[in-house]
Chain A
C-alpha cells in the first residue's frame, strides 16, 4: 500500500455506446459463477428437466393398455375359455377376475375392479356349432368416455380376430368356402408411427414443454436477483450497455439450455425409444431458435418484475398453462374451436412441438418446416426487441 502510484485515468474511447465483447463476456462469466454457486438455479438447470422428463414422459400417455377386464363365463367350455384368453393375449386387456353371476359383474364395476366385463352366454359353443354365430356381450364402465371408446375399438378388433378363426373352423367342419371375401377390403397403412404408439407423438412434445418451462424459469431470476441484492444499481452506474447486459446474461443460459435440450432429446431417443428420422442440423438450428425465444421471454419478465419470487411466479404462469393446454402436445390443436386455435398461434411452444414431431417421426428438414420455423423467428425478433427495450439504465 505504501508505494502505490495513482495511474492516470484511462479515457474510454468516445463514440455511441459501441458493444464491447469484453464487457459482454465479463457479465456472462460472472453469471456462470453465480449459477454454479446458487443451489436454486442449479436445481432448476439440472434437476427440473430430469424430473419433468420422468413425470411427463411416463405420466402422459394416450395409449390404453391392460384395461382390467372381468369375465363372466356362463358356459365354461374349452371354446369359451379360449375366447376369454384371446382378450388377454392381445395385450390390451388384463384379466382381473372371473366372475360367477350378474350380481358379481355389477359389484366389480362398482368397485372399479374392472372397466369392462365380457359376458359369454351359456349356449355359446352350441350356437356357434349349430348356426355358425353367437352374440358376445361386453359391458363397459363409460365414466371415462375416451378410454371406453378406445377399449371398445380394441374389443372389436379382438372379436373380429376370434370371429374369423371360428368362421374358418366352422366352414371347414361344414364343407363351405374357407372365407367369404368382402366386397370392399379396407387395408389401412399408417405412416410415420407404424405401431400407433402415442408415446412417439407425445415425447417430442414433452421435450418442447420442458424446455419452455425450464428456460423461462432460469432467466426469470437473472435480473430480478440483481435488483433484489442491490448489485443492479452498481451495474447500471457503469458504462455497460443494455444490449451487453441482455446478451451477457442470455449467453450462459443458452449454453445450459443446449445442455438440457441435449439431455431431453437423448432421453427421448434412447430411453423412450422414439425413432429419430430427421437430421441433426435441423434439430440443432430449431432447438437453438426455440431456446432464444424461451430465454428472452424469461429475461423480459425478469426485467419487468423486480423480485425473484414474483418473476419466477409470472414465468411459471405465462409458460405453464398456455404450454400445457395450447401447445398441442397432448390436446390436438386441430380439434379446438376456431378462437382457441387462433389463440394457440400465440403459444410459441406449439411451433416447436410441431417441429420436433416432424423432425423425429417424419424426418422433415428445414424446408418442410418453413411455417413453424418462421413462427419462431418472428417470435424471437419481437421478444428480443421488447427485452432489449425493457431494460433501462435508470432507477426512475
Chain B
C-alpha cells in the first residue's frame, strides 16, 4: 500500500519504444509524497509518454514503476483508482453542463453519495464557477475549463496527480490561479507531477525534471539547478549585431556557450580562457560593437539551454 513510507511515484529504468523509436529511455525518478515536480523539455522529448506510462495508459517496454504503492502494469486499476489525470487535450464533455460533468466523474470514481455534495461544491468553488453550474462546458473559457477539469480529476481525492501540460493555451492570469490550486493541493500532501513548457512555471515546482530526447538529463530544485548545472560564470553582454557576435564567440577560447536572450547575449565562461573584461575588446576586434559584460544569476532558461545543448553534443558524439 501507499501509506507514509516510500515515494509516491517511483520509476526505475522506465522505457517506452514505438517500433524503432525510443520515446522514453531508462528513466529513473522518485517523487516524495506532497512534492510538486515539474516536467520540462522540448516537444516530443518524452514527457507525455512518461506521464501516460505512470497513469497506466501506456505499457512500458522495459523497467518498472510504482504509483501510490501500486505497480503500473500488474495493478493498473489500483493505480487508476489512486491518481487524478489531466491529458494534454481538454477532455471534459462539452455537451454536458458543469454539474453534469462533476456528477459523471463522481459516478465513475465511485465517490460515496454522502461526500458528493461537499466535493461538488469544493470543485465548483475551486474552478470559480459558482452560479454557472448549469452552463454547458463547451461555452466556458479556457481557464475555467482547465480548473473544472482539475476539479473533476480530484473528486475521488487521489493521493497522486498527473497533469500533462494543463496550462497550455490558457491566459497568464488563469495560469497563475491554476498554480495556486496546485500548491494548495500539495499542501494537503497530494503528490503532483506536472509537465509544462512555460519556464516561469518551472520556478513554482519543488523539483524540476528536465527531459530531452527521451532521457532525463537533470533533476533538482530550481535553485540547485541554477547554481550547480552551469559549471562556469554567466554573463550578460549587450552587443550588436547579435548574429555576428554569436558567430564570433562560438569558437572563442573559454566560451562554453553563447545564446541570444532578447537584445543581448548570455555567455557562459569556463575557467582558463577569456575573462569577462576581455570580451568587449574581443568582439570589437571582430567588428561587433559591445558594451561591458555583467555577471548575472542564471535563469532556469539558461540552465535548460545549457543542458539541452550539452546533451545534444553528447548525443552527436
Asked if A271 CB lies within 8 Å of chain B CBs, one says: no
Q: For residue B77, which residues in chain A have a CB less than 8 angstroms away from its CB?
A: 17, 239, 241
Q: What is the bound-complex CA distance between A15 and B260, given in angstroms?
A: 57
CB pair A14–B78 under 8 Å, yes or no, is: yes
Q: For residue B156, which residues in chain A have a CB less than 8 angstroms away from its CB?
A: 9-10, 12
Contacts from A to B (Cβ < 8 Å)? 1, 4, 6-10, 12, 14, 17, 20, 22-23, 25-27, 29-30, 33-34, 37-38, 229-231, 233-241, 393-396
Given A10-B111, A22-B110, also A396-B58 (CB < 8 A): yes
**Cβ-closest 3 pairs across A and B:** A26-B107, A6-B188, A234-B91
Neighbour of B87 across the interface among A17, A27, A38, A230, CB < 8 A: A230
Chain B residue nearest in CB terms to A7: B157
Chain B residue nearest in CB terms to A6: B188
Given A231-B92, A396-B59, also A240-B108 (CB < 8 A): yes
Given A34-B93, A233-B89, A240-B108, also A26-B103 (CB < 8 A): yes
CB pair B110–A12 under 8 Å, yes or no, is: yes
Given A1-B126, A34-B96, A395-B57, also A26-B85 (CB < 8 A): no
Q: Nearest chain B CB to A12's CB is how many angstroms away?
A: 4
Q: Nearest chain B CB to A253's CB is how many angstroms away?
A: 17
Q: Nearest chain B CB to A103's CB is how many angstroms away?
A: 69
CB pair B157–A6 under 8 Å, yes or no, is: yes
Q: For residue B198, which residues in chain A have a CB less than 8 angstroms away from its CB?
A: none
Q: What is the bound-complex CA distance between A217 and B148, given in angstroms?
A: 32
Chain B residue nearest in CB terms to A28: B107
Neighbour of B89 across the interface among A7, A22, A23, A230, CB < 8 A: A230
Q: What is the bound-complex CA distance between A37 and B185, given in angstroms?
A: 35
CB pair B52–A395 under 8 Å, yes or no, is: yes
* 23 A/B residue pairs, CB under 8 Å, sorted by A: A1-B125, A1-B126, A4-B125, A7-B118, A9-B157, A9-B158, A9-B159, A10-B112, A10-B156, A12-B110, A14-B78, A22-B107, A25-B107, A26-B107, A30-B93, A229-B94, A230-B91, A233-B87, A234-B91, A237-B55, A239-B80, A393-B76, A395-B52
Chain A residue nearest in CB terms to B189: A6
Given A6-B157, A22-B110, also A233-B57 (CB < 8 A): yes
Contacts from B to A (Cβ < 8 Å)? 18, 52, 55-59, 76-78, 80-83, 85-87, 89-96, 100, 103-112, 115, 118-119, 122, 125-126, 128, 156-159, 185, 188, 190
Q: Nearest chain B CB to A2's CB is how many angstroms away?
A: 9
CB pair B95–A34 under 8 Å, yes or no, is: yes
Q: For residue A34, which residues in chain B have a CB less than 8 angstroms away from its CB?
A: 93, 95-96
Neighbour of A37 across the interface among B57, B95, B110, CB < 8 A: B95
Given A4-B122, A23-B108, A26-B104, 11 additional A-B pairs, CB 8 A: A6-B190, A9-B157, A10-B110, A10-B112, A10-B156, A12-B110, A17-B77, A29-B107, A30-B96, A231-B91, A233-B91
Q: For residue A396, which residues in chain B have a CB less than 8 angstroms away from its CB?
A: 18, 58-59
Q: What is the bound-complex CA distance between A17 and B75, given in angstroms?
A: 10
Q: For residue B185, which residues in chain A have a CB less than 8 angstroms away from its CB?
A: 6
Given A6-B157, A231-B93, also A20-B110 (CB < 8 A): yes
Q: For residue A234, which residues in chain B have a CB less than 8 angstroms away from its CB?
A: 85-87, 91-92
CB pair B110–A23 under 8 Å, yes or no, is: yes
Neighbour of B115 across the interface among A10, A25, A37, A237, CB < 8 A: A10
Q: For residue B188, which residues in chain A have a CB less than 8 angstroms away from its CB?
A: 6
Q: What is the bound-complex CA distance between A29 and B97, given in angstroms?
A: 13
Q: What is the bound-complex CA distance between A320 and B100, given in angstroms?
A: 36
Q: For residue A29, which residues in chain B have a CB less than 8 angstroms away from its CB?
A: 104, 107
CB pair B126–A10 under 8 Å, yes or no, is: no
Q: For residue A236, which residues in chain B have a CB less than 8 angstroms away from its CB?
A: 57
Chain A residue nearest in CB terms to B181: A1
Chain B residue nearest in CB terms to A17: B77
Given A229-B94, A394-B59, also A8-B78 (CB < 8 A): no
Q: Nearest chain A CB to B110's CB is how many angstroms away?
A: 6
Q: What is the bound-complex CA distance between A20 and B90, given in angstroms?
A: 26
Chain A residue nearest in CB terms to B136: A37
Q: For residue B93, which residues in chain A have a CB less than 8 angstroms away from its CB?
A: 30, 34, 231
Q: For residue B96, which residues in chain A have a CB less than 8 angstroms away from its CB?
A: 30, 33-34
CB pair B100–A33 under 8 Å, yes or no, is: yes
Q: What is the bound-complex CA distance between A77 and B21, given in angstroms?
A: 95
Chain A residue nearest in CB terms to B80: A239
Neighbour of B108 across the interface among A17, A26, A229, A230, CB < 8 A: A26
CB pair A239–B115 under 8 Å, yes or no, is: no
Q: For residue A229, which residues in chain B have a CB less than 8 angstroms away from its CB?
A: 91, 94
Q: For residue B158, which residues in chain A have a CB less than 8 angstroms away from its CB?
A: 9
CB pair B109–A239 under 8 Å, yes or no, is: yes
Neighbour of A237 across the interface among B59, B87, B112, B126, CB < 8 A: B87
Q: What is the bound-complex CA distance between A393 and B77, given in angstroms?
A: 10
CB pair A239–B125 under 8 Å, yes or no, is: no
Q: Nearest chain A CB to B295's CB is how many angstroms away?
A: 43
Neighbour of A30 across the interface among B78, B85, B104, B110, CB < 8 A: B104
Neighbour of A7 across the interface among B56, B83, B106, B115, CB < 8 A: B115
CB pair B80–A395 under 8 Å, yes or no, is: no
Q: For residue A37, which residues in chain B have a CB less than 8 angstroms away from its CB?
A: 95
Chain A residue nearest in CB terms to B154: A6
Q: For residue B110, which residues in chain A have a CB less than 8 angstroms away from its CB?
A: 10, 12, 20, 22-23, 239
Centre residue among A9, A33, A231, A240 by max chain B CB count within 10 A: A9
CB pair B87–A30 under 8 Å, yes or no, is: no
CB pair B103–A8 under 8 Å, yes or no, is: no
CB pair B57–A394 under 8 Å, yes or no, is: yes
CB pair A10–B157 under 8 Å, yes or no, is: yes
